[in-house]
Amino acid sequence: MTIVLAAVTKPENVIVCVADRMISFGDTVPAHDNASLKAIRLNNQWEIAWAANDVNVVGPIAAIARLQIHDGYLWDGPDAARIVAEAYSDVLHREFVAIHLSRFGYKNMEQFRTEGRNDLGDQFIDLCVELGRFALGVELILFGHDTQKQPKIYEIHDPGRVEDRNMLQRAVIGSGHDMAMASLLWPPPMSPLLDDTVYRLLEAKFFSETASGVGKMTTVFLRNRDGHVTMLSREEIEQIRTIWKTEVADVASPKSALDVVRKSRAFREVVGES
C-alpha cells in the first residue's frame, strides 16, 4: 500500500497533500521507494491521490473520471466525487468480468446479470457472492476547489463509496493510516495555518514510515484556489526531516521547520508572494 495525507489550510484555502513514492510488488521483487508520484490531475479544479495494492487499476479510474470532469465546466465537490466513485465502480466491474466472467463468455456485468442465472444455475449465486467479496485494493483522495473556489476533500473506497472529509478538513489513506492519524491527533491540535499544516502532515508521514508498504521518499503538493499546484523540493523536505528527528519530543511544531516551509518557493507561490 502506501500513505497519502491531505488537509485544508486557512485563511489561504490552500490544500496540502503529502505522500510517499513507494510501489511494492508483494514478495516477488524488492519494492521501489522512488517509483511514482501519487497524485493525478483530473482538470483545473480537481486532483486525485491514490494508495493501491495494484497500481495498474489507478490509471483507468483516472482516465474514465477525466472524460467527464473536463475543463469546459465547473464542478461542485459532490458531483466530482460522484463521478470518481462511478469510475471506481466501473473499473471494479471490468476487472471482475476479466478475471471471473470472461471465461464463461460474458463481456460485461449487464450481460451477466440478465443471462447468468439461466446460463449458470447455482454457479450464478456463487459468482454473485464472489462479486460481493471482490475488491480493487485502491483508496483515493479527491481534492480541489469547487465552483466558489472553496477547498474540498473526499475519500473514495471499495466498491465506489464516497466519504466526505470536509467537516474534519483532512483525509488519510493507505497502510500507514493508523500511525499517521495517531500523529495528527497528538496534542496540540493541528493548526489550519499553511506552514503548520505542512509540518504536521510531514510529521505524520515520517511517523508512518514503519508501517508496511510506506516508503521514505516523500512528496509535498500545495494546491491553491486558482488551481496552481507546486511542490516542496526534496532538500526542503529532508531539512524538515532532520529538524523533526532532533526535536520530535517538542509539543509544538518546531519554529525552524516552519521557517523552512515559509522560505520555500512552493509556499511563496501558492500564497502569492514574490
DSSP 63-81: HHHHHHS-TTS---HHHHH
Residue 181 belongs to some domain of the structure: yes
What does the mean pLDDT of the chain come to?
A: 92
Asked whether the predicted pLDDT for residue 237 surpasses 80, the reply is: yes
Between CA 88 and CA 148 the distance in angstroms is 26
For the residues 107-119, what does the mean pLDDT come to?
A: 96
- Asked if residue 254 is part of any domain, the answer here is yes
108 domain residue, yes or no: no
Distance between CA atoms of 89 and 73, rounded to whole angstroms? Answer: 23
Domain count, the chain: 1
Residue 53 is predicted with a pLDDT of 87
230 part of a folded domain: yes
Q: Please state, in angstroms and rounded to a whole number, the distance separating the CA atoms of residues 26 and 15.
A: 32
* The pLDDT value given to residue 251: 56
Section 22-29 average pLDDT: 57
* Span of 52-66, 68-82, 90-104, 241-255 with lowest mean pLDDT: 241-255
Residue-level pLDDT at 227: 93
Query: What kind and span of H or E run contains 121?
Result: none
In a domain, 262, yes or no: yes
- Of the candidates 45, 91, 41, 44, the one whose C-alpha atom is nearest the C-alpha of residue 64 is 91
Residue 89 lies in a domain: no
pLDDT (average), residues 193-200: 96
Residue 107 within a domain: no
DSSP 97: I
Q: Please check whether residue 64 lies inside any domain of the structure.
A: yes
The better pLDDT of the pair 22, 180 is held by 180
CA geometry: angle at 154 spanning 153 and 156, to 5°? 155
- Give the range of the structural domain holding residue 157, as residue numbers without chain letter: 3-74+137-270
- What pTM was computed for the model? 0.92
28: confidence class by pLDDT, cuts 50, 70, 90: very low
Q: Give the domain CATH number at 165.
A: 3.60.20.10
Model confidence over 123-160: pLDDT tens digits? 999 999 999 999 999 999 999 999 999 999 999 999 99
**Which of 31 and 164 is assigned the larger pLDDT?**
164
Q: Is the pLDDT of residue 222 over 50?
A: yes
pLDDT of residue 54: 86
Instruction: List the one residue out of 41, 43, 104 whose CA is nearest residue 72.
Output: 43
Give CA–CA dist 14/225, Å, rounded.
Answer: 6
